[in-house]
Chains A and B, each alone.
Chain A
């Protein structure tokens, strides 16, 4: 019993990181209907930017986080303008392939320039273990949880209460109608990318903190898992992404603790397929009426 509870605590930290990435996926997918495969690699870029700003500028945790978020949102907007915008009217497959291309470009570009080896991630804090009754919790886990929650609340505020957020919702609902209402669709899409990639960068930094080492291929798996979380929770929904991330994180940890660690990824995909078959719109997703 004690072990199961401990496992769930471990799963929570992982789940919150998934949730953070899933939010970015969900935002981008909601607005241009594109699985941004490169989203996972933005995580990696974010972690590297944080590492280098620590090594070169010697900054602390919060400035490194902010630098990573800003740099990555610029990168995200650039990627959107250069690679995805020309394909907005093209078949979906074309855009998806381009996204795979961008993902590879980031991964192998970083391998070429920064080497394929793992790098130690700076310990911004000394790890402490807190005993909460039978449980052991680290300050890193608490930090991950709190940063994730703060960012999610912030995102919810932006999307729900600001003008840009309203524009985003309008564009994702109906691009043409939004344009007719005087919304600058291009800028809104760019803003969405900026937000989504900033979240990914934060997630990258948290992952670096959690694992204490980073490498150019670190983003792919969490990226994929996050997409699955987003789908499970219902794409386009903020609470959905969060719940999806947590569900996946905890499921994975439980599968491993039952002794089936090799089947972990299989279970994740199985969960995805099941959700898609039973409730294609996900837990919180809105029903989409197909237009002819």
Chain B
């Protein structure tokens, strides 16, 4: 039996306890909707809004936080530029940036919040395909255009006419590298090693394998690992036994550098190939000499002489003190793509903006990651570049047109 010490304190205490109890529960419930309260004055929709509100949904925390952070930086920079130049259609742009932790459930919540509560006219995001696939059906139902900067799964834009993207899809990157390996490097035997749990790396690997076989090459080993793995010695030892000319490592730079080091440690001499996930200055820091001589496909080259690209890199470095990665460049392009769409639409109306974006895409959009036009599924048809890791730099090797 637990003793109840307060019993003898009588009525006064009792009412005070009750008061605390009631306040707590009242507050818990008011909290319920404090965060999600409807904004006052949201009803006056007939009037054209004073500012153009654009939502951004991207993972600022969680396992792919670094990419979300660079997307955010690029978008913020783009907004500053546009507003400094007088805005769009004579209106300033206001962005609402929300985190989705790379959790599809959160993306669904954020997209609804941006549309219902913040009344945005368009959304940039989300980053990973799994989040875009959860968010875009909602945007389509609400007729709000949504542009992803990095979701490469072909299914993303199939969710409806309001879904757009600025990156090429997995199929293309896999093909580019397979072709490059077979034709330029003269590789006959290739091995792939990828993360089974990640749609991006798996997608790239599958299309690489398919294209490489079609070209007449031989895939001697197809090994996999999982995101939490850090030890690839076992897989690499098997690969070593098959003696491939090239090894395709379509993961992000962290894993790639780890794999490369362990592979060189085992005495594997094959050339490493990869995708846009390699693009980060961190690659040299983490990978060191092991990664030297590797080739990867990317959205753009920092050595691209295009003044637009060079200006973007310069501005980004001035503002943040670091070189932009591919995700930043794509985020920047996504934003300008949207802005062009709004200009084309001529008014701040989400349906008109969608038509505007499509028109811009059909006519051809030129951003820092190059020029592209869109196909009937609103997928950009754009060139990829192949870069070589050499002396702590990414050397431009070749531009591959689709």
Contacts and interface: CB of A to CB of B under 8 A. Distances in A.
A118 B282 contact: yes
B286 A118 contact: yes
B265 A127 contact: yes
A221 B231 CA distance: 11
Interface in A103-141: 111, 116-118, 120, 127, 129, 136, 138
A221 B223 contact: no
Contacts of B288: 120
A213 B257 contact: yes
Contact of A261 (B65, B235, B261, B265): B235
Given A120-B286, A127-B265, A262 B196 contact: yes
A15 B285 CA distance: 28
Interface size class of B (residues with CB under 8 A): 20 to 34
B261 A10 contact: no
B66 A116 contact: yes
A120 B228 contact: no
A157 to B, nearest CB: 30
B230 interface: yes
Contact of B223 (A116, A217, A259): A259
B238 A3 contact: yes
A129 B233 contact: no
Interface in B211-236: 223-226, 228-231, 233-235
A257 B286 contact: no
B321 interface: no
A276 B199 CA distance: 35
B237 interface: yes
A117 B237 contact: no
A127 B263 CA distance: 13
A207 B229 CA distance: 12
List 6 tightest A-B contacts by C-beta distance, closest first: A256-B234, A10-B233, A118-B254, A221-B228, A253-B234, A116-B65
Interface of B: 61, 63, 65-66, 196, 223-226, 228-231, 233-235, 237-238, 241, 254, 257-258, 261, 265-267, 282, 285-286, 288
28 contacts: A3-B237, A3-B238, A3-B241, A7-B237, A10-B231, A10-B233, A10-B234, A10-B237, A116-B63, A117-B254, A127-B265, A129-B265, A129-B267, A136-B266, A207-B230, A211-B258, A212-B258, A213-B257, A215-B254, A218-B230, A252-B234, A253-B233, A254-B234, A261-B196, A261-B225, A262-B196, A262-B226, A264-B226
